[in-house]
Amino acid sequence: MNTQTSLVAEQVRLKQWAEQIKECQNRPADMKVDTWCTQNGLTKANYYYRLRRVREACLTACENEGASFVELPKPAIVQTDTPASAPAVAAILHGSGDITIEILNGASSELIRNVIGALAYAQ
């Protein structure tokens, strides 16, 4: 019974600390942690102790749950009734000088990266 009470007390404490940490992380951008701690009656060392304990509890909870994966079905290829036409232009890149490059809808991300990289070095 005593250990059960201790576990419940620890969970309540961790939940309260997590709320305090969330409040501190949502403080105004120009406010330092020291200032927030002083305003909320904590020492900076105590805040970081609580932060560490909450993080450790979260990691332990994640490890206990284990990883789970969901297999997704392969999407079906959708056939359109429209006649095949030339790919549409998705973007037009203008480089220095007279360089203009049209990127079509079917272009792979690797091709786009390579073209942009080459365009950066073109003169």
Tell me: the pLDDT tens digits for 10-52?
Answer: 999 999 999 999 999 999 999 999 999 999 999 999 999 999 9
Indicate whether 63 pLDDT > 70.
yes
pLDDT at 98: 73
pLDDT at 74: 76
pLDDT at 67: 56
pLDDT at 22: 94
Range of the domain at 108: 89-121
In sequence order, the 6+-apart residues with CB closer than 8 A to the CB of 69 are none
> For residues 47 and 44, what is the distance between their CA atoms, to the nearest angstrom?
5
Structure tokens at 12: 């309540």
Residue 36 lies in a domain: yes
> For residues 12 and 51, what is the distance between their CA atoms, to the nearest angstrom?
15
Identify whether residues 52 and 96 lie together within a single domain: no
Structurally, how many domains does the chain consist of? 2
Residue 73 lies in a domain: no
Residue 78 lies in a domain: no
State the average pLDDT over residues 109-122. 72
Residue 82 lies in a domain: no
Residue 112 lies in a domain: yes
Model confidence pLDDT, tens digit, residues 66-104: 656 667 677 777 665 555 566 787 777 776 667 777 888
